[in-house]
Amino acid sequence: ESEEMYLEADSLYYAELYQESINKLNLLDPDASNNLRVLLLYGLNYTALVENQKAIDYLTRMIFIDDKCFMAYANRGLVYYLDSRYDEAVDDARKAISIHSDCSYPYLTLGKIFLVTDNKIRGCNCMRKVLRIGDDEKNNEEAISWFRDYCN
């Protein structure tokens, strides 16, 4: 039953029904609050709702449970970036890269931070790295767009 409810919450998230997804997660057994997948889904929903501090709180709980959790660092880094907390965002993106260096997501976040803070060379290098890794079409499209705007 708990797994079924999680899957419903996950489907609601992907349907962009973020508050409904949170409402479904809230019905899970309280023991599920230490489940990394549940915490990540809360974090993703709150990120989408631009409730950045709540997202950070859930993603940080993931790190307390597993301090080598790539998804927690990669996503918390993005939220820090969205919140203009660039130093913390850089730290988390780098930590995510140290855990899983062949995923483009943290490089995209790092590239954005460098470009918006006028570190063009490092930012453009990160966007090139995203394209070299090439593991995610959406990340590739975003990197191309940033590259076009900042790196020519």
Rounded distance, CA 129 to CA 111, Å? Answer: 9
**What confidence tens digit (pLDDT) does each residue in 30-85 have?**
777 789 999 999 999 999 999 999 999 999 999 999 999 999 999 999 999 999 99
Q: How many residues does the chain have?
A: 152
What is the phi/psi pair of residue 95, to 5°? -65, -45
**What confidence tens digit (pLDDT) does each residue in 86-132 have?**
999 999 999 999 999 999 999 999 999 999 999 999 999 999 999 99
Rounded distance, CA 7 to CA 14, Å? Answer: 11
Which H or E run includes 25? helix 18-26
